[in-house]
C-alpha cells in the first residue's frame, strides 16, 4: 500500500508483483482465482491486486463486485507468490515491477494493526466508520466511537451495546 500511495500506482502501470511469504500464509490464502468476495478473503493474489486498485483491502473490497472487476482480475493474474521459510508468519517481501522498467521493493516486518505496528486512533476511527456506514447513522457512529474511547468513564459496559443498537 505504501508503494501505491508513494508512487501513485495504478493497476495498468504494473507489469507484475512478486510476493515472498511464510509457507502458512500461502497455504491459507493461496486461492489463485477467487470468484466471490468470500473466496477473495483466501487469496493473497486478490488482496494484493485490490489493495492497489482500491487503495484499501477491507470489508468493502472483499465483495463479489471487486473480485470480478476486470482491472483487478488482470492485476491479480500478474501477482506471483512464493514461499520463503525465512520470512515470519506476519511478514512479507514485496517486489513490484512497473511497465516502465522500475522495480519497487519493500520488506513488511509487521503488518499495520499488529502488536508491533498498531493502528493509530485515527485509523481505528476510520475503520469503525467504514464498518458502520451502511448500518448506523453517522451521528450514532460518532457516539459509539466516543463511547468506546471513554469506556473507563462509562457507568456500565452495556452503554457500548446501547450506542451500537440499530
Residue 1 has pLDDT above 60, yes or no: no
Same domain, 21 and 56: yes
C-alpha cell at 92: 512479507
Residue 114 lies in a domain: no
Q: pLDDT (tens digit, 9 = 90+) per residue, 118-132?
A: 999 999 999 999 999
Residue 142 lies in a domain: yes
Residue 16 lies in a domain: yes
Same domain, 75 and 147: no
Residue 116 lies in a domain: no
Contact call for residues 51 and 1 (beta carbons, < 8 A): yes
Same domain, 29 and 100: yes
Same domain, 73 and 125: no
- Domain housing 87: 2-108
Residue 44 lies in a domain: yes
Residue 115 lies in a domain: no
**Average pLDDT of the chain, as a whole number:** 93
Rounded CA gap, 155 and 4, in Å?
44
Residue 70 has pLDDT above 60, yes or no: yes
**Based on the structure, what is the number of domains in the chain?**
2
Same domain, 103 and 146: no
Same domain, 52 and 22: yes
> What does 129-145 look like in DSSP terms, one character per residue?
HHHHTTTS-HHHHHHHH
Residue 90 has pLDDT above 70, yes or no: yes
Residue 8 has pLDDT above 80, yes or no: yes
Residue 70 lies in a domain: yes
Q: What is the dihedral of CA 103, 13, 69, 95, to 10 degrees?
A: 0
Residue 7 lies in a domain: yes
Same domain, 91 and 52: yes
For the domain that residue 74 is a member of, what is the CATH number? 3.30.1330.120
* pTM of structure: 0.85
Same domain, 134 and 71: no
Residue 5 has pLDDT above 90, yes or no: no
Amino acid at each position: 500500500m505504501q508503494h501505491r500511495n508513494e508512487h501513485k500506482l495504478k493497476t495498468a502501470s504494473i507489469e507484475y508483483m512478486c510476493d515472498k511469504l511464510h509457507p502458512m500464509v500461502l497455504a491459507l490464502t493461496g486461492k489463485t482465482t477467487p470468484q466471490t468476495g468470500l473466496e477473495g478473503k483466501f487469496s493473497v493474489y486478490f488482496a494484493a491486486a485490490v489493495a492497489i486498485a482500491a487503495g484499501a483491502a477491507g470489508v468493502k473490497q472483499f465483495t463479489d463486485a471487486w473480485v470480478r472487476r476486470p482491472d483487478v482480475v488482470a492485476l491479480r493474474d500478474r501477482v506471483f507468490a512464493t514461499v520463503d521459510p525465512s520470512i515470519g508468519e506476519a511478514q512479507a517481501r514485496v517486489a513490484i515491477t512497473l511497465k516502465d522498467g522500475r522495480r519497487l521493493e519493500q520488506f513488511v516486518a509487521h503488518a499495520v494493526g499488529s502488536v508491533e505496528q498498531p493502528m493509530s486512533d485515527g485509523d481505528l476511527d476510520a475503520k469503525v466508520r467504514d464498518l458502520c456506514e451502511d448500518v448506523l447513522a453517522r451521528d450514532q457512529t460518532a457516539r459509539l466511537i466516543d463511547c468506546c474511547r471513554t469506556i473507563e468513564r462509562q457507568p456500565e459496559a452495556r452503554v457500548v451495546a446501547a450506542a451500537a443498537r440499530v
